[in-house]
Structure 1
Amino acid sequence: MDTQSVITHTVRVAGGRFAPGHLGELTQHIPFEMIDESLRETGTVQSRLRDLPSRVVVYLLLAACLFPETGYLGVWRKLTGALAGLPVAAPSASALAQARRRIGSKPLQWLFDLLKGPAADGRAPGTRWHGLLVVALDGTIMTVPDSPAVLTRFTKQAGNHGGTGYPQVRLLALVACGTRTLIDAVFGPTTAGETTYAPRLLPSLRPGMILLADRNFAAQKLVAGIAATGAHALVRLKNGRKMPVLTRYRDGSYLSALGPLRVRVVDCEITVTTASGKHTGLYRLATTLLDHHRHPAGELATLYHQRWDIETAYLELKSTVLGGRVLRARTPDGITQEIYALLVVYQLLRTAMADATGTQRGTDPDRAGFSIAWQAARDQVILAAGVIAGTVIDLVGTIGRHVLADLLPARRLRVSPRIVKRAISKYQARGPRIDRTSYKATTGIEILASAGP
């Protein structure tokens, strides 16, 4: 005779028409009161209580970022799937579209402005260097639908496959390297370059930070703007850029200048050795840290490698969350709304991960798997689990327990070719075969002393 098991699942959500308004366990990081405040501050609270209250619509927009593979009606079904027995609305696709337009982008922008910033525990391993919070600045491109409305603001890249490609949005972010949380972000048309958007992020810099950036951000005015905030900078220069040698130091670095700003320059040769051979590159770095005793050249060259943490943040946002998909919205306002929702959800996930690793002393946030947290958050939405916190505060939660149960190994240096793996053309590219293998690697750094006084 077969035995049977009965599992009872208790769901605690908001009452009445507000019941579908949740984000599973992530609701504890973005509670009802926070959403309601964003609506009040931006003047978007519904004038009368509808089947789709404004609070519920905001949660719908956030939940859609966790389920980019399905339409908004499908997202609604995931929000309400565990609410059997409760009288929830059954809106049409057009009703959901009207509700999203009614909300606009301002509440999502307000939420991002509230939630942005480095994780609370800046003392975790890998977050600071010589007491300075390590942050990185860089940009990326996101593709958006090719609709007439979108093309009124966002354009296609010149020469992009004969005009057959998608319009694009330029996103620039300031990221805390250790936790990969977003300190700030700006976005807009690609008709403006990265160095045009970058000054808008400078107000988020503070003394006690060191900013890492690539050659594109080594403009004299921008580096001076970074220094004016009280933060320090470590930027890569073009190898051929002529820099005056004012004083040469024993560690191989030398005092120089970017206009009126005094900087220290480090010329180094970095050799990466793998099973396939050796690869050597020349790097020229400039920093506002002028004391070669406290911040030796070799340590600066090693630190610069952490700039790549922002690249993995973009990978998680565009590949793990979006799955390489084009954004949904088909109007400029809708795109603004969707991007802010994506930034909020990414920040919530990263905060939950940092909270979890912060409970285990000495655990580097690098070891938290983003895809594990993302999948766990999706499951909690479908179950409508953990929406309202219990009387006992759980600092880790179900998402955090999944992360801690499957920590990644300590980071090992690996290299892989920086190429497009999925070619746009179905025809094989001409030229030699490209080796796409990722290799374990070791790195050697040699500081190159420059001629001068």
Structure 2
Amino acid sequence: MFDDTLHFLANHLESPDWARLGEHLPYEWVEQAVLSTEAASIRHRRLPAEQVVWLMVALALYRHKSISEVLDDLGLAVPDSQTPFVSKSAAAQARQRVGQAPLKWLFERSARHWVAQDKKAYLFKGLQLFAMDGTTLRTHDTVENREHFGAQSYASDTVASYPQVRGVTVTSLPTHLVHSAVFGPYSTNEMLYAKQLLGTIPNESLTVFDRGFLSAEILCGLTGSGAERHFIIPSKSNTKWEAIEGESEDMLVRMRVSPQARAKCPELPEFWEARAITVVDAQARKRILLTSLRDRRRYKPSDIALCYDKRWGIETSYRELKQTMLGTALTLRSKTVDGVYQEIWGTLIAYNLIRLEIAKAALAVKCEPTEVSFIRAFHLIQFELHWAGVTRSYGKLPASMKHLRERLVSLLNDERPGRKCDRAVKATPKRYAVRKVKKLP
């Protein structure tokens, strides 16, 4: 029975059909994701597991459309002359059957492969550049979501109106491709999520952290395992150390590990060392950066400061994902816990597909991927996929993708000469206008 099902899928779902949603996601990966997580469909369905995986990726690309519209516009369902359209209930049931596991497997497989593809073109003195940071996403306010994810609590004993998902990601700084991610309940501290991601960071790499991750357990766990895994992180105002050697602007320091940290993790040493560099930003503010890059000749303070300045690029990635792709939606689509996780993994795959196309286009014209507009790339990919779904011209996909990359960089030099990406802290935009009430005399 199972062999017959695979034979049916192979005959009816040819590889060019899968390629419409991205030439970088081989059908074999999707098939393996389904088989390895035991989510394959035994019955002949209009929405087998493989198609549901594609549906979740497509839903992230077309956040403004309903599930039914995405299914119809892209032709994701297996053709059936008797029932040309798939009902909403059938799509919901298909998502429940598949669950989140295949999407998570596919993200992890594709992300590592895509980040490693062109790493030689984006090395910093032989090291891959990454950044780690956290973010949150809001979900529908259902009993199940609130019990599982929880919500932010305030000092006034009030709780946020919507449950929230907390997550931490490791992102490639040159290309903004998400390398690895972990998501879960809001009540779980970011440090616990960060520890889960340490093992995913590759050797010969440099990871830039926000000061919130300043912890001996995190940083020693990174450098103590693997080969040539380094960090850069700003010190806190209350960070204490003892100078070992060097000058005040560039010195080697030793810090004591707290007894509480050693009680939780007995493997930690009593002391740990780092290089402390004092840098001055554009606003003439001094900042001390701690790093494991001790070779002063190879890694100059200006180089280290430049690497840290790129860290905020991960925050623009969150903006692209949450505001551009999700359309600043108040909540995610899904109303169940498993559906939320499934949607997040599908969104991350879709985001990486866009970022990968940008990286390929940038390599073709020898510019930085960050110089290519994400919004422009996102709209072009939406158009190309919709065109492929309407025309069903699968054989024209290579030429279409080539044309897409040419359009991505066609106005690069004219529209963005000498573009600068200095960080600017802006006020959070309000969803609703605030009415000002005059006080009575």
State the TM bucket, normalised to the shorter chain. 0.7 to 0.9
Aligned counterpart in structure 1 of residue 190 of structure 2, from 168, 191, 194: 194
Which residue of structure 1 lines up, in the alignment, with residue 286 of structure 2? 282
Q: Residue 264 of structure 1 aligns to a residue in which SS?
A: strand
Cα drift, residue 76 of structure 1: 1.4
Tell whether the 8 Å contact from 1:82 to 1:383 is kept in structure 2 after alignment. Answer: no
* Counterpart AA for 1:348: L
Change over 3 Å in CA distance of 1:197–1:87 after alignment to 2:
same
How much has 1:224 moved relative to structure 2?
0.4
Supply the distance in 2 between the matched residues of 1:33 and 1:429 (Cα, whole angstroms).
Answer: 62
> Per the alignment, do residues 79 and 413 of structure 1 end up closer, same or farther by CA in structure 2, a change over 3 Å counting?
closer
Instruction: Measure, in 1, the Cα distance between the counterparts of 2:172 and 2:251.
Output: 28
1:419 aligns with 2:427: yes
Deviations 1:219-269 (A, max 9, x none): 1111101112331111111133222111124x8211112343221001233
Q: Any conservation in 2 of the 1:245–1:254 contact (CA below 8 Å)?
A: yes
**Counterpart AA for 2:48:** P
The Cα shift of 1:380 comes to: 2.2
Corresponding position of 1:382 = 386
The CA deviation string for residues 283-335 of structure 1, in whole angstroms up to 9 with x for no partner, is: 11100011222212232222210101111111111011001111011111111
Of 273, 298, 304, the match for 2:302: 298
- For the structure 1 residues 188 and 378, does the alpha-carbon distance in structure 2 shift closer, same or farther, using more than 3 Å as the test? same
Contact 1:112-1:340 at 8 Å conserved across structures: yes
CA contact (8 A) 1:24 1:383 kept: no
Q: Secondary structure at the match of 1:166?
A: coil
Partner of 2:139: 144
* Residue 339 in structure 1 maps to residue 344 in structure 2: yes
Equivalent residues in 2 for 1:47-446, closer than 5 Å = 47-80=42-75, 89-117=84-112, 118-124=115-121, 127-159=122-154, 162-163=158-159, 165-228=161-224, 229-230=226-227, 231-249=229-247, 252-259=249-256, 260-272=271-283, 280-325=284-329, 326-360=331-365, 362-384=366-388, 390=395, 397-407=402-412, 408-422=416-430, 426-427=434-435
CA distance in 2, matches of 1:21, 1:59: 13
Residues of 1 paired with 2:80 and 2:96: CA distance?
Answer: 30
Task: Give CA-to-partner distance per residue, 1:161-216, whole Å, 9 cap, x none.
Answer: 94352111112110110001111111111101111110111112233211101110
Matched residues, number:
406
Distance apart, 1:109 and its partner CA: 0.9
Does the 8 Å CA contact 2:250/2:277 hold for their aligned counterparts? yes
User: How far apart are residue 92 of structure 1 and its match?
Assistant: 1.1
Structure of greater relative contact order (alpha carbons < 8 Å, 6+ residues apart): 1
CA distance in 1, matches of 2:347, 2:69: 18
Residues 353 and 400 of structure 1 are in contact (CA less than 8 Å); yes or no, is this contact kept in structure 2? yes
- 2: distance between equivalents of 1:177 and 1:115? 17
Distance 2:98 2:14 in 1: 18
| 1:87 to 1:295, Cα distance in 2 relative to 1, 3 A | farther
8 A contact 1:153–1:332 mirrored in 2: yes
For structure 2, the 5+ residue unaligned runs are: 1-8, 257-270
Mapped contact 1:289–1:295 kept (Cα < 8 A) = yes
CA deviations over 1:347-386 (Å, ceiling 9, x no partner):
11111221222222x3211112211221122112222269
Structure 1 portions without partners, runs of 5+: 1-13, 273-279, 431-453
**Letter of the structure 1 residue corresponding to residue 343 of structure 2:** E
2:34/2:40 contact within 8 Å kept: yes
Q: 1:145 to 1:16 in 2, by over 3 A?
A: farther
In the aligned structure 1, how far is the partner of 2:371 from the partner of 2:54?
Answer: 29
Provide the rounded CA distance (Å) in 2 between the counterparts of 1:68 and 1:392.
Answer: 23
Give the CA deviation at 1:149: 1.7
> Corresponding residue for 1:6?
none
TM-score (norm 1): 0.81
Alpha-carbon distance in 1 for matches of 2:393, 2:189:
43
Helix, strand or coil: the match of 1:265?
A: strand
Question: Contact 1:23/1:63 (CA < 8 Å) preserved in 2?
Answer: no
Q: Report which stretch shifted further, 93-102 or 56-65.
A: 56-65
How many angstroms apart in 1 are the aligned matches of 2:216 and 2:437? 39
Percent identity for Structure 1 against Structure 2: 27
Q: What is the alpha-carbon distance in structure 1 between the residues aligned to residue 98 and residue 77 of structure 2? A: 25
Change (3 A) 1:392 1:92: closer
Q: Against the structure 1 CA distance between its residues 267 and 122, is the aligned structure 2 distance closer, same or farther, given a 3 Å change threshold?
A: same
> Kindly tell me: are residues 318 and 21 of structure 1, through their superposed partners in 2, closer, same or farther at Cα, counting changes over 3 Å?
farther
TM superposition shift of 1:393? 5.8
* 8 Å Cα contact 2:72/2:85 also seen in 1: no
Alpha-carbon separation, structure 2, partners of 1:181 and 1:413? 18
The code of the aligned residue for 2:187 comes to T
Q: For the residues of structure 2 that align with 1:393 and 1:92, how far apart are their CA atoms?
A: 32
Q: Secondary structure at the match of 1:333?
A: helix
Instruction: Give the secondary-structure state (helix, strand or coil) at the position aligned to 2:427.
Output: coil
